[in-house]
Structure 1
């Protein structure tokens, strides 16, 4: 069920013309897998402040990580009709996004991309994330750093991989890459493969918090101490990392910049129907905790 977010009164402006599309309800949707993560809450608040001047309101909805549920949520927002929808996180079924974009619903994807008219893509600078992660580990004296990431369709098509390889070369350390599903279980498989194929690994850069959480759990089960024997860092920080033991060091997009980019992208899609904006990559920052 969609939830309303109170309008930020400090940003409301009275007596100005509203840039509302004809027949639209003045509503913008924000969809995420989990409404309780800090990243979702901050994006919701920032988005409401950004669009509040035009007397729009943000409605929140959860997909619960269900690929089919996203299509249902998008249909609900289209029926309002909403002026646009922001989707936070990976899209398991891109055809759902394409279908609604073709029917005139502007969609901003945060952390994924379906390039087509009426869709804007906002993500973080993955090459920068890889570089920041490797530099942090190398500065701690680590010399054999592994990256675990999801499968890719074409060799050389992953900018995270190219960023990682460039970073290990620049830092003068050794690196290896292991691919596994970007899930909790995938972290276990990847760590075992990394230990077997890259003996002496002392640092791990994980694709997301779920993989990193399983890496830490599996390392503990194997009697490996974190971070003294293997340090772990994640390129995510969606809220899980701060609750882990040890707390997870992460690289994340600068959240203020992310909110600004999403708000700008949504505004452009609403004002210029059918436009295909260039993807936006937001810079990242390191959140140093206990795991690295």
Structure 2
């Protein structure tokens, strides 16, 4: 995979935002996979050639749409996304844009809801824009649902096994192990890696699916929304007596992962993440208030 992209054709910012509205109200044939990519000031890190090649590789038998969500970027991110869309086959790339920066959690939630409600995708995923997890893993994640029909959720796991190429600093590795321990305590679930930026979900029931309910209201946490999603799935399983989450999640050991520079996570955010985990534990495991809250007649989606 090339790490070099062509320079974007930078135009007027207002025009870029105007042209970033979704190009369709949904494809006539729903895609098999919709890949949501949240972006905030990613102009220098987006690999245009890799995304274009991925979009062109989509087939009639296994169609995939890439949904970029520009989260109020102040650089040329939108211009770069327009270039990707212009070079990709028609309908293979959608762009959603917000003027305000609402954070990765809300950007991902918005993109996933668009993929479910407008594109009617059978499977939805979100992927970090820096492609630390390469795009060829989208197919590998998708194959899990074929070989393991009981699985509804696939999480990427950065495990340094022999035969894998996981390039991660020791500091981030050990911080990740501490966080994984806290996340496992929060969820009462043994999980190796909740924070890998590559995840895929099976959609059963479209806009009324369990996933749609999980996405029905904004997340309470900014950095650990991945953990909160699992907590919401747990709450729904308890409420309706369905299979427990531990039987429906598969952690896929990545074949390759590269620690890309420019991460927006600061050392101070680690404390916020830990506090967020405590909030998740309180809301979805200790609270007597049910989740999701009972729906009122005047509630809107």
Q: TM-score, normalised by structure 1?
A: 0.28
Over alpha carbons, which structure has the higher Rg? Answer: 1
Q: When you count strand as a share of all residues, which structure comes out higher?
A: 1
Q: TM-score, normalised by structure 2?
A: 0.28
